[in-house]
Amino acid sequence: MSRELDALTVVNQLRDLAADPLNRRAIVQDNGCLPGLILFLDHPNPQVVYSALLAVRYLAECRTNREKMKGELGMMLSLQNVMQKGSSPGETKLLASEIYEILQAAGNEAEQAEAASCRRKAHFFLGSTNKKAKTVVLHIDGLDDSTRRSLCEEALLKIRGVISFTFQMAVKRCVVRIRSDIKAEALGTAINSTKVMKAAQVVKGEDGGEVNLALEVENSLWLPDLGFVVFTIFVYIKPVCH
């Protein structure tokens, strides 16, 4: 009996902590709390199980927790067991079913959010193509891996006149379409701001061959209006609670 009381005390403490929205992310990130709650879902004492379900339900209210909770070893299986166990009270089964549905939909929520983000990005680029544009080919020294590419993407997306860009990683190049009134130097300034890469413009020389033309760094041309922030990306889409 004392061991059951100890378990109920512990799970009630976790439930009370999870009731505070400020604690929910920390509890899920902790290496022991979430696995411990999953163990309590299989406890023989119905009160312990119900209290553990309440704690899990609180944690699931934070959207950023759901993917990790869904993927935690034993979580979905334990919820199914509670739902299917004949001795589980009806209220307990309903709560377990509610949590199961919330976590099961977590992947779909992420896909829907990404699709909505893609639509917003596509709308931005469609609007931009109505203006006259030019293409600039950049050779980017230091464009060695996906991490550097991401830095490059972020830098280019800060320029209001960028319409689209694609990468040719094998030759360290980026083909950028920009508004006709934007200078290539703005691109160089943005890339150089990463501190780990440097851009040069690829142009045709007098003999018809390709030449890398150094770009002068400009102090402010590439910086966006503080009131205008565009969350967009072309070709490489990455995905972004309480």
The residue ranges of every structural domain in the chain are: 2-104, 126-214
| pLDDT averaged over every residue in the chain | 79
Q: Which pTM was predicted?
A: 0.46
Instruction: Quote the tokens at residue 13.
Output: 């403490």
Give me the torsion for CA of 186, 190, 193, 196, rounded to 10°.
-120
Q: What is the pLDDT of residue 112?
A: 52
Asked if pLDDT for residue 169 goes beyond 60, the answer is yes
Q: Which of the four pLDDT bands, split at 50, 70 and 90, describes residue 86?
A: confident
Residue 14 above 80 pLDDT?
A: yes
> Which CATH number is correct for 126-214, 3.30.70.100, 3.40.50.300, 3.30.530.20, 2.40.10.10?
3.30.70.100
DSSP 3-state of 61: coil
Mean pLDDT, range 206-233, rounded to an integer: 56
- Higher local confidence (pLDDT), 101 or 228: 101
Q: Sign (positive/negative) of CA torsion 37, 41, 42, 45?
A: positive
